[in-house]
Homo-oligomer: A and B are copies of this chain.
Amino acid sequence: MAKRLAGAHRRVARNFGSKRRVGRSMNTTRPSSRALVAPEADLAKLQRRVDACNTILDQDLDTFVPFCIGGKRLGYLKESFAAKLERHGNVFVRQSEGIALHEQLQSERIRTEEVGKVMQQLWNEGTIVGWREELFPVRESFHDSPMLLLERAAVAHFGVKAYGVHMNGFVKDSNGNEFLWVARRSATKPTFPGMLDHLVAGGQGQIGCMDNVVKEAEEEAGIPRELASQARSVGAVSYRMKVDEGVKQDVLYVYDLELPEDFVPRAMDGEVEQFMLWSIERVMDSVANTQEWKPNCVLVVIDFLIRHGHIHADQPGYLQLLASLRQADLS
- B234 & A306 in contact (Cβ 8 Å cutoff): yes
Copies in the complex: 2
Contact, CB under 8 Å: B323 / A234: no
Interface of A is mostly: mixed
- CB-CB under 8 A from A253, the residues of chain B are 313
The answer to the question of A34 belonging to the interface, with a C-beta cut-off of 8 Å to chain B, is yes
With A209-B314, A307-B235, A312-B210: A319-B251 Cβ-Cβ less than 8 Å: yes
Bound-state CA distance A323–B308 (Å) is: 20
Interface bracket on A: 35 or more
From B34, B235, B306, B316, give the contact of A322 (CB < 8 A).
Answer: B235
Complex Cα spacing A92 to B236, Å? 44
Question: How far is the CB of A184 from the nearest CB of chain B, in Å?
Answer: 27
CB atoms of B210 and A314 under 8 A apart: yes
User: A95-123: contact bitstring with B at CB < 8 Å (1 yes, 0 no)?
Assistant: 00000000000000000000000000000
- Do A320 and B326 touch across chains, with their CB atoms under 8 A apart? no
Task: List 13 A–B pairs whose Cβ atoms lie within 8 Å, in order of A's numbering.
Answer: A34-B229, A34-B230, A143-B318, A208-B314, A232-B308, A233-B312, A234-B306, A234-B308, A235-B322, A236-B319, A251-B319, A307-B307, A323-B326
